[in-house]
Structure 1
Amino acid sequence: MGFISNVTGTLSDSISSELKDQHLETFRTDSLGQDILVKRAVRQNSFGRNQGSSEIISAGSKVIIPAGTYALMIDNGKIVDSVTEPGIYTWENSSSGSILSGGVKSVMGDVFDRFRFAGEVTKSQRIYFVNGLEIMNQTSNESLHLPYPDPVYGTLYFKFKIMFSFRIVDPVRFFKKTGKATTVYDYMGSPALPKQPFTEVQDHMEEALNLCGSRDKVPFPQLLSNKSKLKDAVNETISEVWYEQRGMVVESIAMTGLTLDEASRKRVEQFDSAKIFADDPAALQALVALGLTKAMNSAASNPAGAMTGFAGLGMAGTVAGNIQNGVSAFGGQSVTGPETCPFCGTPLPLQKPLEYCPACNADIRSYFQGMS
């Protein structure tokens, strides 16, 4: 008699627990914002009538998905469906049916399963929301010291920090890697203690910079403003880890606090100065004039006497004048020709032939004899 009583009680509990799970549920969430990556959906239960198991989602239940959010339907541990567009969806393929949606046969099967397990629920259905927004301002306190193969200046060395944003683009791959509710802090860490996904970006920065300089030919002055090239290079170098394994991509990236080392800074300054004079002969003339002005000031204060200083200045002025004349004569063109010294290219006056070049002191008498 006791055994029959136990069976009756178990059957009653099985039917009762199944009936509690017959109401259809609605699942919704607000935007997950900048702090949450994965959140388990909680059913709306405003009137308190659905008191069934939180592990059961009946077929026919509704899922409301906001913009910038994905949804995953998990039935007995397996991802059976995913949604990547906002809207209202009906979960039709749940293994738990509902009388309210016409699944009588499935419901009777569930009752029998619960009876066999003393009224306990034998299934598990869950819905997870996954963040599809751009997650901003990922940074660390650590500075990187890396070389850059600049196509113009040669290899430069600089120090900088990175700040980047990322986005989950494949929620199924991402969830398979996490398998639970996750926050941005849990996954990426903090600026003081970045976790593995963040350090993976740092580890691939040298390879990405090498692509920008060697392949894409981005000069250093344009690197900070050419963020799209840098972003593409970073994604290319970490794609196997970030996209193929985690379903994530770097959405944007910036280099902050960038400083060149002393040798690299001097090289950039020297190259830029030389380029200015090569492109603008007038700038070279201005430099010569500036140099003469400084020389005259120095000569006037020469302890050995102003005349000694000006004597030296006279020789310098002769050379400087030849340089200025040469710049004016060729206007940025080559100085070789019948009016220049064949040894150093200094312009020579035809009206007053010289015996020696004023710049290099070469014997040019035979040169003028050949011209006469």
Structure 2
Amino acid sequence: MGIIKAFTGAMTGTFADQWKDIITAGVFDERTAIAPGVKKSTDGRGANINGSSDIISNGSKIYVPEKTAAFIFSESGIEDIITEAGGYEYQNGMSSSIFNDDSIEQSIFKQVKDRIGYGGISGDEKKITFVNLREIRDIKFGTRGAQIFNDMYYGTDLEIFAYGSFTIQIKDVVKFIKNFVPANVTYYSFDDVHVRSQISSDFLQSFTVVLNSLSSTYRISQLPSQGNAISNMIVHDSDNAGTWGERFGFEIVKVSIENIELTDDSRELVKQYSSHKMNIKAYDEVSQKTSNIAAQQKIAQGIQDNGLGDAGSMIFGMNTAQGLGTIAEPRKIMSLDEQIEMLKKLKDLMDAGILSEEEFITKKKEIMGL
């Protein structure tokens, strides 16, 4: 076996002229993880797809695009994995140039071959498959049953259904192929129900753990805005989805919560809570207004029965009450400004109906010393 590196990065015009027939990756859709190679012909002006051709032979030229990896396998297992974008040539029986240390090459791929057998093809027949290293987006999830969320605002357990999607990315090609992808597979998509079922249970377990931990900090209505926090907590969940990187070579990049729905019972509970809170607020406002009216009535009755007397302090404040007290204390003479100010206040009381005209005239004479 052997992969000879010709160039790295994008294929320039020079190599496009020299490499008329190449095997490269086809078009990946949003959730395709592995796809077979396709043969393309280049004419210097572009590349034309000739059709699926994942079988390679001695001298086959391979182009690995950016954000893509490739692995070559036969009946005995995986022979080579290419993770760097660029052009390569397959030379059967030669040592691969993509490893600087032959011992590393032998060690890694001996383990791969020991773990995976790609049966069903001739021992001399080699195939190439490409791996999508971009983010695999919009993997939908939904809680199968109601989840418990202890909302700090309502102070009770609420039952909810949660719906959304998450994004994953393959970080370790070797682990992904060895531990997650079934043998003899050249196409693998997370759209497949069977593929999704392998990770949905782990994800929902982690999601439930995260919900419980967030309930002490956030209200239910705030959860959709906490996608980044949820993603980070799921990635670091040591028992479920957080183990994907070590087990399967891919990790969660982002979680988006699209909708949170209360069960019928919890929705009714929230409605009762809101109604009760509104009733309490309305009662408090009525109670305050009633207290104010009662105080005003008491002041008016006190003035009517006793003149201003002690009630003056309730109307004018302590300073005014001290001023009124001078009426009964002839030793303290009010200044002209003080007399005018006091008369204005008495006039306001008369206009408000608290003092009669006779009471106003009497107090006026007392203030002016008439």
Q: TM-score when scaled to structure 2? A: 0.51
Q: Is the 8 A contact 2:35 2:129 kept in 1?
A: yes
Aligned to 1:95: 93
Aligned residues of 1:28 and 1:41 also touching (Cα < 8 A): yes
Q: Which has the larger radius of gyration?
A: 2
Write out per-residue CA displacement over residues 144-203 of structure 1, whole angstroms, 9 at most, x where no aligned residue: 41122445554542222232232222222221221312332564459xxx5232233223
In the TM superposition, residue 205 of structure 1 has moved relative to its aligned partner by: 1.8
Could you tell me how far 1:206 is from its partner in structure 2? Answer: 0.9
What's the secondary structure of 1:195's corresponding residue?
A: helix
How many Å apart are 1:249 and its aligned residue? 1.9
Corresponding letter in the other structure for 1:223: L
Evaluate the alpha carbon distance shift between residue 146 and residue 43 of structure 1 in structure 2; reply closer, same or farther with a 3 A threshold.
Answer: same
Greater strand fraction, Structure 1 or Structure 2: 2
Task: Tell me by how many angstroms 1:28 deviates.
Answer: 0.8
CA distance in 2, matches of 1:43, 1:68: 19
Q: How does 1:108-257 map to 2 (within 5 A)?
A: 122-139=123-140, 143-150=144-151, 153-157=154-158, 158-176=160-178, 177-178=180-181, 179=183, 180-184=185-189, 187-189=192-194, 195-214=197-216, 217-237=217-237, 238-239=240-241, 241-257=243-259
Return the alpha-carbon distance in structure 1 between the equivalents of residues 246 and 273 of structure 2.
39
- Compared CA separation, residues 86 and 154, structure 1 to 2 (3 A): farther
- Tell me the equivalent position of 1:301: none
With over 3 angstroms needed to count, the CA separation of the structure-2 counterparts of 1:350 and 1:160, relative to structure 1, is farther
2:34 pairs with 1:38:
yes
Secondary structure at 1:34's aligned position in 2? coil
Identity level (%)? 19
8 Å contact from structure 2 (residues 135, 167) kept in 1: yes
Kept in 2: contact 1:212–1:233 (CA 8 A): no
Asked if the contact 1:143–1:161 (Cα under 8 Å) also holds between the matched residues in 2, the reply is no
Residue among 246, 250, 258 paired with 2:260: 258
The answer to which of 163-172 and 255-264 deviates more is 255-264
1:63 aligns with 2:44: no
Structure 1 CA distance for aligned equivalents of residues 93 and 295 of structure 2: 91
Cα 1:142–1:206 shift into 2, 3 Å: closer
| Alpha-carbon offset, residue 136 of structure 1 | 2.5
1:102 aligns to what? Answer: none
Matched residue SS, 1:351: helix
| Number of aligned residues | 240
CA root-mean-square deviation: 4.5
Query: Residues 75 and 87 of structure 1: is their aligned pair in 2 closer, same or farther, counting only changes over 3 Å?
Result: same
Local SS of the residue matching 2:146: strand
Name the amino acid aligned to 2:93.
S
The alpha-carbon deviation at position 213 of structure 1 amounts to: 3.5
Cα distance change on mapping 1:162 and 1:271 into 2, 3 Å: farther
CA contact (8 A) 1:56 1:96 kept: no
Q: Which amino acid aligns with 2:66?
A: A
Instruction: Structure 2 unaligned segments of length 5 or more: list them.
Output: 1-18, 43-52, 96-120, 297-310, 315-370
Matched AA of 2:188? T
SS of the residue aligned with 1:31? coil
- Paired letter, 1:262: R
Aligned ranges 1:308-327 → 2 under 5 Å: 317-319=289-291
